[in-house]
Amino acid sequence: MYIGKRLREIRQAQGMSLTTLAEKSGVQIATLSRMENLKMTGTLESHMNIAKALGVDVTQLYTAIIREESKAEAATTKSASDVFIHSDKSSYEILTSNVLGKRMMPILLKIEPDGQTNTEQNRPGSEKFIFVLEGKIEARVGDKTYPLAKANSLYFDASLEHYFVNTGKSTARMICVGTPVAL
């Protein structure tokens, strides 16, 4: 999911240089340049920081993504642009296209041994469902901890602070579905 073209449009419309955007967003100038030149996608965190620095809602960075009118969609190929780094030892892959046209967002979350995701807290009314495909994790939601292993699932209020920790010795993989879509 490349946002570079839209990023450049918004930045230039505001008369902001890459240097100024880098300073305001905390995103390296080289990363911003690569994003604008469609050489990399960036992380979700960098997208949020860029949007904040530009004074726009993060969804405005995705407005150039074309929405298809299809009612059913099969994912048959994967590309590197669908993978985002969540933290040093975790990443996620969006499992559908045209995310902003959907009511839910399915992702494949991977957490390396001794790794964890960043803490998240979605807007009120948000929900998440996770299903563990491989490994052992702890889902920390609000002030509660839920130990989960292969074939376990958890459905929770995503407006509570939450994150996931790999408690096993191998990479943990899980399907995570959030609603409504929040980027």
**pLDDT the model gives residue 162:** 95
**Quick one: average pLDDT of 88-107?**
79
For residue range 139-172, what is the model confidence (pLDDT) as tens digits?
A: 999 999 999 999 999 999 999 999 999 999 999 9
The one-letter amino acid at 71: K
* Global pTM value: 0.57
Distances (CA, A) of 155 to 38, 72, 116, 135, 178: 36, 24, 19, 18, 10
Q: Where in the sequence of the chain do the CATH 1.10.260.40 domains occur?
A: 4-62
**Arithmetic mean of pLDDT, 77-100:** 66
Contact 159, 179 (CB under 8 A): no
* Class of 4-62 in CATH: mainly alpha
Q: Closest Cα to residue 120, out of 140, 100, 104?
A: 140
- A 10 A CB-CB count for 15 gives 7
Pairwise pLDDT comparison (45 vs 136), residue with the higher score? 136
Alpha-carbon Rg for the chain, nearest whole angstrom, is: 17
The architecture CATH gives domain 82-179: Sandwich (2.60)
**What phi, psi does 62 have (nearest 5°)?**
-105, 5
Are 166 and 174 in contact by the 8 Å Cβ rule? The answer is no
From 81-85, 133-137, 159-163, 165-169, the region with the lowest mean pLDDT: 81-85
Q: Which residues of 108-147 are buried (b: 16+ CB within 10 A; e: fewer)?
A: bbbbbeebbbeebebeeebebbbbbeebbbbbbbeeeeee
Question: Which is more confidently placed, 175 or 79?
Answer: 175
For the chain, percent of residues with pLDDT exceeding 70: 83
Which two three-digit tokens encode residue 156?
């929770």
Average pLDDT of the chain, as a whole number: 83
* pLDDT at residue 11 is higher than 50: yes
